[in-house]
Amino acid sequence: MTLSPPPNPQAPGAEPAAASPDPAQAPNAPGAGAHAFSAAEREAVYRAIHERRDMRHFAGGRVDDATLQRLLTAAHHAPSVGFMQPWRFIRVRSRERRAAIHALVEQERVLTARALGEREDDFMRLKVEGVLECAELLIVVLPPGREAHVFGRRTLPEMDLASAACAIQNLWLAARAEGLGMGWVSLFDPQALSELLGLPPGSRPIGVLCLGPVPAFYAQPMLAEVGWAQRQPLAALCFDEGWPQPPDPCSQSMATGDVANRDAPATGAAPASGCAPGAEPAPVSAPGRTPAAAPACAPKADAAGTGDRHLRASGTSPTPTPEAMPARPAPTSPTPRPVAAAASGPTPSPDGSPA
């Protein structure tokens, strides 16, 4: 997929690229332009998206009630699965309660640092919250009784969290448009925070939102500025028709095999590439022998899709065919013992079903 860069959201009068016509549209159907915002309005939307930042540094001050009401109304107009609206906002103004929430965040910050291993020191140097400095502190909670909402959640129950995240994003963008910063803090033990706030059983806190005036907005996301991580290129994240598939080692080996493979006598042994016709790769090694560099191959699964598929899924090497097995050394005992013939029945899979 080739993607062209979007227009500069801050360029005056920037126009989006014209979309290809939809052949399914009626000839007289109105185009997107009939419903588009004005150029200035579009510019403002894209500017809010691109300049939104996860803020950690706040300048105190206050957020007046009318502005806070506008922000919460914007959050409440977020999309939600089955229109379940699974967001609840708790405003925390008590200094004592803020201090208790800050203590929970600090406790989890230390535990997170330890879990990061070699990046522990780097993480501890980061500022990860503004609980005590921000003008407003909001706790976002998923309410109890969410299991009653099945529409859109029967196979994806986590869509309640995704819906609440949409509300948080709405609030974030509206805050940026109002000139206010916001940071989403998720470093806390949900059970401990639930007990502190007296949440009912079945509810779940998902975010501590720090909101208020800031001294300045970061030019880039803060973690990019300090070198913790960088934004990935969009082209590396977009695919056509499905997930990209890794190349087949056997196909590559066959395509690049040497002349010796084509001229080898028909002895029944696998070619030097390690792949016999009608076979697919499987990690096989004979006891007491060093595996060859080229991938060995096992028989393909049968038409029912069983057989070696189960073995590969469980990480177990399938039984090699006699043709793919290395030749056994000649027996040294005076009376050679007969070699047991390979079983003619199907190879059982790890779950006990026949291959």
Is 274 within 8 Å of 253 (Cβ atoms)? Answer: yes
Q: Does residue 47 register a pLDDT over 70?
A: yes
Distance in angstroms (rounded) separating the CA atoms of residues 128 and 106: 9
Q: What is the pLDDT of residue 319?
A: 44
Residue 28 inside a domain? The answer is no
Q: Does residue 104 register a pLDDT over 90?
A: yes
Residue 207 inside a domain? The answer is yes
Is 205 within 8 Å of 199 (Cβ atoms)? Answer: yes
Residue of 65 and 285 predicted with greater confidence: 65
Three-state SS for the chain is CCCCCCCCCCCCCCCCCCCCCCCCCCCCCCCHHHHCCCHHHHHHHHHHHHHCCECCCCCCCCCCHHHHHHHHHHHHCCCCHHHCCCCEEEEECCHHHHHHHHHHHHHHHHHHHHHCHHHHHHHHCCCCCCCCCCCEEEEEEECCCHHHCCCCCCCCCCHHHHHHHHHHHHHHHHHHHCCCEEEEECCCCHHHHHHHHCCCCCCEEEEEEEEECCCCCCCCCHHHHCCCCCCCCHHHHCCCCCCCCCCCHHHHHHHCCCHHHHHCCCCCCCCCCCCCCCEEECCCCCCCCCCCCCCCEEECCCCCCCCHHHHHHHCCCCCCCCCCCCCCCCCCCCCCCCCCCCCCCCCECCCCCEC
Q: Domain of 137? A: 56-216
Tell me the per-residue pLDDT of 128-161, one tens digit each, with 9 for 90 and over.
999 999 999 999 999 999 999 999 999 999 999 9
As a whole number, mean pLDDT of residues 294-313 equals: 40
Residue 21 inside a domain? The answer is no
Q: What is the pLDDT of residue 32?
A: 74
Q: What is the pLDDT of residue 29?
A: 58
As a whole number, mean pLDDT of residues 194-217 equals: 98
CATH code assigned at 106: 3.40.109.10
Q: What is the pLDDT of residue 3?
A: 52
Neighbours of 307 (CB within 10 A): 21
Residue 224 inside a domain? The answer is no
Residue 111 inside a domain? The answer is yes
Residue 43 inside a domain? The answer is no
Count of domains forming the chain: 1
Its pTM stands at 0.65
The overall average pLDDT reported for the chain is 77
Distance in angstroms (rounded) separating the CA atoms of residues 144 and 243: 36
Is 181 within 8 Å of 212 (Cβ atoms)? Answer: yes
Q: What is the pLDDT of residue 252?
A: 63
Residue 272 inside a domain? The answer is no
Residue 81 inside a domain? The answer is yes
Tell me the per-residue pLDDT of 211-244, one tens digit each, with 9 for 90 and over.
999 999 999 999 999 999 999 999 999 999 999 9
